[in-house]
């Protein structure tokens, strides 16, 4: 049995990666350019991919493929219909990153709301050491207790974020992007009402026809000028040009993003050019990737391989 992991670098150095060897020979590639995919899986029975595209061309050229394991929840990098026609099983992993994304959401929120970078720099610069008083009121920050915490996308991660926000004393409300998930113990609002009333907006939705360009300039104008926007869902949900404009024109208090329309972020992305950089936190799509989360991901891949062979 030969297993080929096409983009191992996407999961980093994770301690339980060796568990894959119980199923046979494992070949790892840190990254795989599109023009090398077919050659690298030419004698593989199992492919592991996070973002490398497995299309009909790859499948047709490699008839020995029996199982495609996606090292993620999203499956848009594999032609699922064609895999089914070819009798190739495709398995993803879900639920592994819930705690990591939840923690990262609040890490970004608190870093922004509490001006952590500013105060850290204030002390390390030596200015605080010369202060005549014990404290420094350079930038105001606010408590999230009692604030309206609005969530866009109330799936597993959205629900987890809601529970933590509730523990901090927030008032919860949400918008269901699918229109189906409306049986939560919090008010379900229309999007415009949520944007108008929330002090914090946290996005945890998938990218689809309903969410593409969901947060654009017209909707940013609806938000409170004191509001903070967090996107830990998918990049194109937020219009990046419009958000950069909103930040620099004081339309909202700040934003924190972990995802972008093009990843890695492009050098000319307007978010990298904002003047009010202190109002913006940008992370490199890392919210999902705690060590524990990545270990759970590898465990899930091993479970998927084991389940496949138990059934065949």
Q: What is the mean pLDDT of the chain?
A: 97
pLDDT of residue 179: 84
Give the CATH fold of the 98-282 domain: Rossmann fold (3.40.50)
pLDDT digits (tens, 9 = 90+) for 95-148: 999 999 999 999 999 999 999 999 999 999 999 999 999 999 999 999 999 999
Instruction: Quickly state the pLDDT bin for 42 (edges 50, 70, 90).
Output: very high
2-94+291-311: CATH superfamily: NAD(P)-binding Rossmann-like Domain (3.40.50.720)
pLDDT digits (tens, 9 = 90+) for 240-249: 999 999 999 9
Which position has the token pair 């987890």? 160
204-236: b or e for each residue (b if 16 or more CB lie within 10 Å)? bbbbeeebeebbeeebbebbbeebbbbbbbbbb
The rounded radius of gyration (Å) of the Cα atoms in the chain is 22
98-282 has the same fold as 2-94+291-311 = yes
Burial degree of 45 (CB within 10 A; 0-12, 13-18, 19+): middle
Phi, psi of 61 (to 5 degrees): -80, -10
Structure tokens at 5: 């992991």
For residue 98, the tally of other CB atoms under 10 A from its CB is: 20
Region for 95 from its dihedrals, namely left if φ exceeds 0, alpha if ψ lies in -120 to 50, beta otherwise: left
pLDDT digits (tens, 9 = 90+) for 212-237: 999 999 999 999 999 999 999 999 99
Residue 176, pLDDT above cutoff 90: yes
What is the domain partition of the chain in residue ranges? 2-94+291-311, 98-282
Nearest-10 crossing angle of helices 156-167, 98-113? 50
Beta bridge partners of 47: 4, 68
What positions carry a catalytic annotation? Answer: 234, 263, 285
Structure tokens at 227: 């509001």
Closest listed residue to residue 187, CA positions, set 150, 155, 223, 213: 150
Q: How far apart are CA 90 and CA 103, in angstroms?
A: 30
């Amino acid at each position: 049995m030969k297993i080929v992991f096409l983009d191992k670098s996407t999961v980093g150095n994770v301690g339980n990666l060796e568990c894959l060897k119980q199923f046979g020979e494992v070949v790892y590639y840190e990254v795989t350019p599109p023009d090398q995919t077919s050659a690298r899986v030419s004698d593989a029975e199992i492919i592991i991919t996070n973002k490398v595209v497995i299309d009909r061309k790859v499948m047709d050229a490699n008839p020995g493929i029996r199982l495609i394991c996606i090292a993620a929840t999203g499956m848009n990098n594999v032609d699922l219909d064609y895999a089914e026609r070819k009798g190739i099983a495709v398995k993803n992993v879900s639920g592994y990153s819930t705690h990591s994304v939840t923690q990262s959401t609040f890490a970004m929120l608190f870093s922004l709301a509490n001006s952590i970078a500013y105060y850290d720099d204030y002390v390390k610069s030596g200015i605080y050491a010369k202060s005549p008083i014990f404290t420094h009121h350079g930038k105001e920050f606010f408590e999230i207790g009692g604030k309206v915490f609005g969530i866009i996308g109330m799936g597993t991660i959205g629900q987890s974020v809601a529970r933590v926000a509730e523990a901090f004393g927030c008032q919860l409300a949400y918008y269901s992007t699918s229109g189906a998930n409306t049986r939560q113990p919090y008010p379900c609002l229309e999007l415009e009402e949520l944007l108008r009333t929330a002090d914090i907006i946290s996005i945890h939705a998938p990218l689809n026809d309903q969410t593409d360009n969901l947060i654009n300039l017209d909707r940013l104008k609806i938000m409170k000028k004191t509001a903070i926007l967090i996107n830990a869902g998918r990049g194109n949900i937020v219009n990046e040009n419009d958000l950069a404009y909103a930040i620099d024109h004081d339309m909202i208090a700040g934003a924190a993003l972990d995802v972008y329309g093009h990843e890695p972020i492009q050098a000319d992305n307007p978010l990298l050019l904002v003047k009010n950089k202190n109002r913006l936190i940008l992370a490199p799509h890392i919210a999902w990737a705690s060590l524990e989360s990545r270990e759970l991901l590898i465990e899930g891949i091993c479970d998927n391989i084991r389940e496949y062979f138990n059934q065949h």
